[in-house]
Structure 1
Amino acid sequence: MSPSKTVHGDPWPRRLVRSALTPFRSVSEIADAIEVRQRLQRSSATGRRIVVDDLGTDADTAVVAALVARVLAHHRHDRVLAVDATGRLPSLDTRLNTHVAHSLGAGAESGSFDLVKEGLGEAAAGLWTVQAAQGDEGLFASGLLPISRFFGVTLVVGGSGGAFVDAVGRAAHARIRVVRATREAARTVGRSIDELLRDGRRDEVDRSVIVVHDQDRREDPGFDAARVTRIIAESGAETVLLRHDRHLAQGAAVDTRRIAHATHQAALRIAAEAVNRAVEARPVHAVTAVRGEHA
């Protein structure tokens, strides 16, 4: 197989069987699909900001954000903005197959959406992208806040420790924490949750969706995914296992027609749970949060 050939997440026998069984989906499966779609389409009086980070585990946040952004743009009736502050490859632009990079600047034109979109890249109908400097904390208040009001959901993607992502995180309505499927990453999650609870930040735990991503197939053979996800879920954070997907592992643009069925289901759940938590979150005073005070 040529390295440039795009592969399917599922092998062809599995795709064939699933195609044959599609007309015979159960009533419960159809009901679940309708319920997930309703959660994805939940609206709010103001735009919701969702941060996607890796808790320092070096997990591929860009590919998870690309999956979630595609799901939101497909199901929602408002605009979605995806902001890439990862500073690494493959970038969010690569994963979303947008070729022209736009950078978020301070004092962005924000009088109307027609002005705003001149500084953005369009990845799909209703889905827009922009890059942001990892270390520019002030860019949140001066660049992102003025334009995010034009979007129903804004996803900000980066690793842990970047000043820009940290600033957005303090005013985020929900968080998606992507971690690798290893015992060390599980310990990192546990320490992070324990610290938040000790600091009286139960609401941040409740607004989190933990994605355990098996991005390198069975990277840690001793990792017990079922046990770890169950333990994390006991904290109050939603936990989703994103299994290894051959298509995603290629590092190229995400083609939703080629991802594994399990990947598609996981992406729907991650997006729905994040939106649900973001909409139900208490109001966040963004400017105050930028100054270091928790709303």
Structure 2
Amino acid sequence: PHPAPAPTLDPRLSLALGRPRHGDSLTRRAGRSLRKLASSAAQDVAEEARVAEQLQQPVTTGRVVAVTSIRGGVGKTSVSALLARAFIHYRHDQVLALDADAALGTLPVRLGAGEVRWSCTELARLLTPSMTLSDVTEYLVPVDGGWLLPASQGRVGAPLDLRTYRKVTLALRRYFAVTVADCESLPGEVARTAMDTAHARVVVAPLTAEGVGGTRIVLEWLARLPHPALTTTVVALTAASPDMPLDVKAAATHLKEAGVPVVSLPYDRHLAGGGPIRTELLGRATRRAATRLAAEVLERAVRAR
């Protein structure tokens, strides 16, 4: 039987969100426009072209990017959505956003999906080697030129088991050049497995002493895995407010000592709203950081075996 569609967000909450805010304040946008008039944009254009080239490089087999963090509420799903959007925007092949956090996954909301129907667990039971891309996409949610596979129907569901995660990611690699898996927080079993088996990894670290310290421990664990997991890992450093007590440069330096690149995602008023992410409303610094993060991740995923 076909499951009935379920809304990703209660209509009352949609109304409560009101009009989404721009990531940058009006004052900041006006100031940037004046500075832009007074300076050359050649350097910015060159950097954007370099990043676009990185993001458009071909992949021989489907690449899986796993995103996790040491705890919830630090922007893990926002980072997953930003990565998926960047890959969808720049690439000309198929991109999948996979919600692998069945307990409280909110990736469908962040990607702007109005409703969901089939879940990861349900699709795992239906997948066969003879299925074509069009067969598979019948069970997925279209999002801005890419595809989404929810973990559940917006309810607290049973934890995603390892067998299901492995079956789905392995099977769907045939159809999708890049899969972004928004995993549960560590030390969850699926998160640990995803970090161990993915082609590239993103660890989302909150800009707090506890968050940076805990993330450094995760990086040391990755360094001890039997294959070179650390060389395909990138840290996304996230700020929960415009005035974080921890110095960004000091935090990034501490994490880089483990041998990984660190991309800082600044506080963004639009992301902080918690609703559907609209790329045009993101702050300029956020858009650039998200694109750079996606390029760093793909560069490592392509090099992975």
Q: TM-score range by the shorter chain?
A: 0.7 to 0.9
Amino acid of the structure 1 residue aligned with 2:109: T
2:260 and 2:149 map into 1 onto residues whose CA distance is 29
The question of 1:164 aligning with 2:190 is answered yes
Structure-2 residue corresponding to 1:178:
204
Q: SS of 2:279's equivalent?
A: coil
Q: 2:21 aligns to what?
A: 7
Query: Identity over aligned residues, as a percent?
Result: 30
Whether the aligned pair in 1 keeps the contact of 2:61 and 2:173 (CA below 8 Å) is no
Paired residues in the alignment total 277
Q: 1:120 aligns with which of 132, 136, 140?
A: 140
- How is 1:1-295 mapped onto 2 (pairs within 5 angstroms)? 3-22=17-36, 24-56=39-71, 58-87=73-102, 91-101=106-116, 102-104=118-120, 105-110=123-128, 111-125=131-145, 127-132=146-151, 134-158=159-183, 159-197=185-223, 199=224, 203-218=228-243, 221=245, 223-281=246-304, 283=305
Q: Deviations over 1:176-207 (max 9, x none)?
A: 1111110011111222223333x265721121
Post-superposition shift, 1:98? 0.4
| TM-score normalized by the length of structure 1 | 0.87
Q: Equivalents in 1 of 2:159, 2:93: separation in Å?
A: 27
* CA distance in structure 2 between the partners assigned to 1:142 and 1:272 by the alignment: 27
Structure 2 CA distance for partners of 1:196 and 1:165, relative to 1, 3 Å: closer
CA distance in 1: counterparts of 2:90 and 2:301, whole angstroms: 16
Question: In structure 2, what residue type is equivalent to 1:65?
Answer: S
Cα deviations by residue, 1:230-252 (Å, 9 ceiling, x for unpaired): 22123221101111111100000
Could you tell me how far apart the structure 1 residues matched to 2:132 and 2:178 are?
Answer: 17
Name the SS for the 2:126 alignment partner: coil
Q: Which amino acid aligns with 1:15?
A: R
> d(CA) in 2 for partners of 1:241 and 1:34?
20
Question: SS of the counterpart of 2:198?
Answer: coil
- Matched residue of 2:229: which SS? helix
Q: C-alpha distance in 2, partners of 1:17/1:58? A: 32
Unpaired segments ≥5 residues, structure 1: 284-295
Measured at CA, do residues 4 and 136 of structure 1 come closer, stay the same or move farther in structure 2, by a change above 3 Å?
Answer: same
Matched position secondary structure for 1:267: helix
RMSD (Å), alpha carbons: 2.1
CA distance in 1, matches of 2:103, 2:74: 11
- Deviation per residue, 1:37-70 (Å, 9 max, x gap): 0111111210100000012364221111111111
Calculate the TM-score normalised by the size of structure 2: 0.84
Distance in 2 between the 1:4 and 1:88 partners? 27
The answer to whether the 8 Å contact 1:157/1:165 transfers is no
- Once the 2 structures are TM-superposed, how far is the Cα of residue 167 of structure 1 from its aligned partner? 2.9
For 1:139, give the aligned amino acid: T
Query: What's the CA shift for 1:89?
Result: 5.4
Q: Secondary structure at the match of 1:178?
A: strand
CA distance in 2, matches of 1:163, 1:7: 37
